[in-house]
Amino acid sequence: MKTKHFARVFGAQPAIPSAHVVTVEADITKGLHAFSIVGLPDKAVEEARDRVASAIKNSGLTSPKSTNKKIVISLAPATLKKEGAAFDLPVALAYLLAAGDISFAPENKLFAGELALDGTLRPIHGTLSLSLAAKERGLTEIFVPTENAGEAALVEDISVYAVESLEQLLKHLSQESPLKIPRTKPAKAKCGVEGHTYLEFIRGQEHAKRALEIAAAGRHNISLFGPPGTGKTMLARAFTTLLPELSKDEVIEVTTIHSFAGALGKEVVTNPPFRSPHHSASHVALIGGGAIPKPGEVTLAHRGVLFLDEFPEFTKDCINALRQPLEDKLVTVSRAKGSNIFPANFTLIVALNPCPCGHFGDERCTCSAQQIDKYKKKISGPIADRIDMWIHVGAIPPEAMKGKVVENTNETKTARKRIQKAHTIQQKRFKKHKGITTNSDMSAKEIDTLACITKEAESALVDAAGRLHLSPRGYHRTIKLARTIADLADSEQVEKPHMLEALQYRPKESY
């Protein structure tokens, strides 16, 4: 068995939407001892030499460091930057194959995992993207750490093996003690808000609750503005309880993102994500970036909700950077070392006060005209135009606060049924249109062919467009909003009342 000097196995570099399959090659020649890894490795990949050597030694085999041989590990393609510790396992196997210490057929197998010094495997990020890439490449088996097997098993038609240690894997490959394919379903992670807030917990604000229902039915962006303490944050958190669970394809898509970003435990994401970054978040944290581009909050909120509380307190750069994801449902992050396109199809909810102190128009207001003007100018016209609904959340009279909250009114349950029905109508409408699932995804072309607007509704929109100074974008967004209102009313056509209700939600000159 000691006659081989070259071997090749498959690993992968995690990425979104799927990983890049990497060929891990090992070549061993006689000479002074050297152990090098080539192919644009980062520091973590370079350090694999020491982890792999100790893991091999503690698994009962000869350590690479005890041999007078030159060992070269090549990660191809060489132009792809390799990051993280997921290459530990394929590097170890490639060396052992080349050294002749083990023998197996690696052609249809992909390996990934971080090795501890004792040979056990530690979990890695982005496992689901590895499984997707393996299937696309035509590989039939994938070997990952036990903690990652659940998410990898979401991909059908590929055998996923949960590995606890290098020694256990070697026994499987030698047929001494074959591993079993895990059949257990992965745990579900309700990636929303802990301690759900429901509509029935919120006193009054019926107008705002109606707006939330419309926004949830068509995935429309919404702004909640009003004085402090009126329930804006509670309304935003209640929004997540109105959304249906993710579809099977969406579960894979969202779980892949969260796994790649290291925001996933042992569970998979089945509910729409809810992300609520603090207003001190940086541009990179919100949009994504870094020397090697990584996803930000807008991508972690994909297929879910991005809630920005105290919206004008975010930096102007952060606010304006939302233009592309709100319009194109994706974000392009370009850096000197690479450019990435990340998905960012989320529902935006913003909460803001009418002025810095929050008591605009009240005798308690202490803000100067200059402060108020500067505060409002933080939200530019293009951003305001991309928010479909502007809802005033006013003060609640003291008498409305009397009594106990009734939890069994089924207000949320009833709203969810109406929203689910509207989603079903939209799924049928867009069945033949790839990439469109809700009314908010429609382009001008789909609006012309699928919105079904009556002449009276169109006339009402045209008349109001001039008075409200609607831009072409605002014009189309109003139609999409009216289409959702019609779906909630189970109407095949957008009637005049639906259009008039949609128009009242458009942003005014002053919020």
Q: Does the N-terminal peptide bond of residue 77 adopt cis geometry, omega within 30 degrees of 0?
A: yes
pLDDT band at 403 (very low <50, low <70, confident <90, very high): low
Average pLDDT over residues 448-473: 93
CB 10 within 8 A of CB 139: yes
pLDDT at res. 508: 62
Summarised one tens digit per residue, pLDDT across range 291-316 is 778 899 999 999 999 999 999 999 99
Rounded to an integer, what distance in angstroms lies between the CA atom of residue 275 and that of residue 308?
A: 9
Summarised one tens digit per residue, pLDDT across range 426-453 is 999 999 998 899 999 999 999 999 999 9
CB 450 within 8 A of CB 431: no
Helices (H), 243-391: 248-260, 283-287, 297-300, 316-320, 323-328, 369-377, 381-386
- Helix axis angle for 166-173 and 88-99, nearest 10°, is 50
Q: Which fold has domain 6-185?
A: Ribosomal Protein S5; domain 2 (3.30.230)
Burial environment of residue 275 by CB neighbours within 10 A (0 to 12, 13 to 18, 19 or more) = buried
403, 191, 216: which is closest to 208 by C-alpha? Answer: 216
pLDDT at res. 459: 96
What DSSP letter does each residue of 82-112 carry, written as one string?
B-SSTTHHHHHHHHHHHHTS-----TTEEE-
The two beta strands, 34-38 and 114-115, are unpaired
Rounded to an integer, what distance in angstroms lies between the CA atom of residue 483 and that of residue 492?
A: 9
Q: What is the average pLDDT value for the chain, to the nearest integer?
A: 90
CB 507 within 8 A of CB 385: yes
Structure tokens at 344: 């960012």
Q: What three-state secondary structure class fits 364? A: coil
Average pLDDT over residues 73-77: 97
251, 222, 291, 137: which is closest to 440 by C-alpha? Answer: 222
Top-level class of domain 199-403? alpha beta
Rounded to an integer, what distance in angstroms lies between the CA atom of residue 349 and that of residue 308?
A: 6
Rounded to an integer, what distance in angstroms lies between the CA atom of residue 70 and that of residue 37?
A: 11
pLDDT band at 263 (very low <50, low <70, confident <90, very high): confident
pLDDT at res. 199: 85
pLDDT band at 116 (very low <50, low <70, confident <90, very high): very high
| Residue spans per domain, the chain | 6-185, 199-403
Tell me if the pTM is above 0.85. Answer: yes
The two beta strands, 330-335 and 338-343, are antiparallel
Q: Is the pLDDT of residue 425 over 90?
A: yes
Q: Does the N-terminal peptide bond of residue 17 adopt cis geometry, omega within 30 degrees of 0?
A: yes
Give residue for tokens 């303490």. Answer: 229
Give residue for tokens 């200059």. Answer: 370
Q: What three-state secondary structure class fits 43? A: helix
Give residue for tokens 């290459």. Answer: 87
CB 114 within 8 A of CB 145: yes
Task: Assign 3-state DSSP to the chain and report helix, strand, coil percentages, each to 5.
Answer: 40, 20, 40
Structure tokens at 96: 């052992």
pLDDT at res. 3: 54
Q: What three-state secondary structure class fits 6? A: strand
pLDDT band at 188 (very low <50, low <70, confident <90, very high): low
Rounded to an integer, what distance in angstroms lies between the CA atom of residue 330 and that of residue 349?
A: 17
Structure tokens at 457: 């509704």
pLDDT band at 141 (very low <50, low <70, confident <90, very high): very high
Question: Residues of the chain with pLDDT > 70: what percent?
Answer: 93
pLDDT band at 510 (very low <50, low <70, confident <90, very high): very low
Q: Is the pLDDT of residue 195 over 60?
A: no
145-159, 325-339, 343-357, range with the lowest pLDDT: 325-339
Q: Is the pLDDT of residue 335 over 80?
A: no
Phi, psi angles (nearest 5°) of residue 294: -125, 155
